[in-house]
Amino acid sequence: MAYMLIADDNKQISLILSEYAKKEDFIPIVAYDGAEAVAKFLEYNPEIILLDVMMPIMDGFEVCREIRKKSNVPIIMITARGEDFERIMGLDIGADDYIVKPFSPGEVMARVRAVLRRLTKADDNAIQIVRFENLKINLDDYKVEIDGQDVSLTKKEIELLWTLASNNQKVFSRDNLLNSIWGYDYFGDSRTVDSHMKRLRAKLDAVPHENWELKTIWGVGYKFEGREHEA
């Protein structure tokens, strides 16, 4: 059986989620503050994490950033507030989904299943390494290299770049990208895609790449454009 880390300082919520996690054949591991969440993540290497935003010592955003330095484990963030900027921030720093209190435990477990299905589908169907000219994207270990040098990107930025680059010249709408990378389960919007694209381009533009680029197709979405060598 796999571990599910439940990080929430509300003991009643943690207890209820733990019981539902058992029904999904997970072994629940509970943390009541951010520091404990990081420690238990390192100790148990869980298959998925339910991470409350408002916690003592370290908040959920800090915990997510710390975990993302070490792992791409699926993270579903939970908050009592539903402001757009919080949801977008959580996704931007590497969360896979976002859910707002109050919620039903059954809904949370449905989100867990949806996130794990998306990841399993990607693992089963994807070509894990994409190369074009001086660009190499390795989805097995979430590394991107340009001219043999590592480029520091977030998990979602790598998935976004991989999706576009593995479909050279194909135009993806914002909704296409939102659905394939984040899934609609978290009720996101196109601003999530746009904000990721802006940061991704800024990082890629810091290094030379004359024969490929990420292009905006106005009114539609984005594409990776790899150009062949001229004769």
Q: Is the pLDDT of residue 82 over 80?
A: no
Q: What is the pLDDT of residues 91-103, one digit of tens each?
A: 677 788 888 888 8
Give the separation between CA 211 and CA 191, rounded to whole angstroms.
Answer: 28
Do 53 and 21 form a contact (C-beta atoms < 8 A)?
no
Q: What is the model's pLDDT at position 126?
A: 52
Calculate mean pLDDT across residues 182-187: 55
Calculate mean pLDDT across residues 224-229: 73
Q: Is the pLDDT of residue 161 over 70?
A: yes
Q: What is the pLDDT of residues 26-70, one digit of tens each?
A: 999 999 999 999 999 999 999 999 999 999 999 999 999 999 888
Alpha-carbon distances of 44 from 24, 131, 181, 185, rounded to whole Å = 18, 34, 26, 27
Q: What is the model's pLDDT at position 132?
A: 84
Length of the chain: 231
Q: What is the model's pLDDT at position 84?
A: 63
pTM for the model stands at 0.66
- Domains present along the chain, CATH in parentheses: 2-123 (3.40.50.2300), 154-226 (1.10.10.10)
